[in-house]
């Protein structure tokens, strides 16, 4: 699997910021399957590649949507929140986030990095750097 990225990115910073927000809230935090499916179509390229923190590589809108649904099923009652300022430049965006239930909204923490082309997310990297102690 390879990823081709434009050598002349021209994405507007406001587009990148909107996509970072849509990725977190309209896709991964959305529990309504119909709304999430629409957001997936609007947010990602058809051939989106997601490098998930668990070393999984998810390719395509349908697979990403299915995995987002699985993650929500694994953590009922959890919500995402943004942690700080979005960093954007050229066709790249970075957003730190928290994930957790009411009362412990920062139980899990991580970072998303996106590459944007044509007004949609072409690639997504997720890292998780804070997990609950077992």
Quote the pLDDT of residue 8. 67
> In terms of DSSP bridges, do strands 120-130 and 44-51 run parallel, antiparallel, or are they unpaired?
parallel
pLDDT tens per residue across all 134 residues of the chain: 667 776 666 789 999 999 999 999 999 999 999 999 999 999 999 999 999 988 899 999 999 999 999 999 999 999 999 998 899 998 999 999 999 999 999 999 999 999 999 999 999 999 999 887 76
The rounded Cα 74 to chain-centroid distance in angstroms is: 17
* Gyration radius from the chain CA atoms: 14
90-119 as b/e: b if 16+ CB within 10 A = ebbbbbbbbbbeeeeeeebbbbbbbbbbee
In this structure, is the dihedral angle defined by the CA atoms of residues 84, 41, 9 and 3, taken in order, positive or negative? positive
For domain 13-130, the CATH architecture is Roll (3.10)
Asked if 92 contacts 115 with a C-beta cutoff of 8 angstroms, the reply is yes
pLDDT for 1: 62
| Residues whose CB falls within 8 Å of the CB of residue 119, separated by 6 or more in sequence, listed in order | 11, 15
Lookup result for tokens 């991964």: 28
């Amino acid at each position: 699997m390879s990823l081709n990225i434009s050598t002349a990115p021209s994405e507007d910073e406001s587009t990148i910021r909107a996509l970072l927000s849509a990725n977190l809230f309209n896709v991964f935090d959305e529990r309504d399957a119909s709304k999430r499916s629409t957001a997936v179509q609007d947010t990602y390229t058809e051939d989106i590649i997601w490098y998930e923190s668990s070393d999984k590589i998810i390719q395509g809108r349908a697979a990403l949507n299915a995995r987002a649904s699985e993650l929500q099923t694994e953590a009922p009652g959890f919500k995402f929140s943004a942690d700080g300022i979005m960093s954007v430049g050229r066709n790249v965006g970075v957003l730190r986030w928290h994930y957790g239930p009411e009362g412990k909204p920062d139980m899990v923490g991580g970072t998303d990095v996106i590459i944007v082309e044509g007004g949609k997310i072409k690639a997504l990297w997720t890292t998780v750097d804070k997990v609950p102690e077992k």
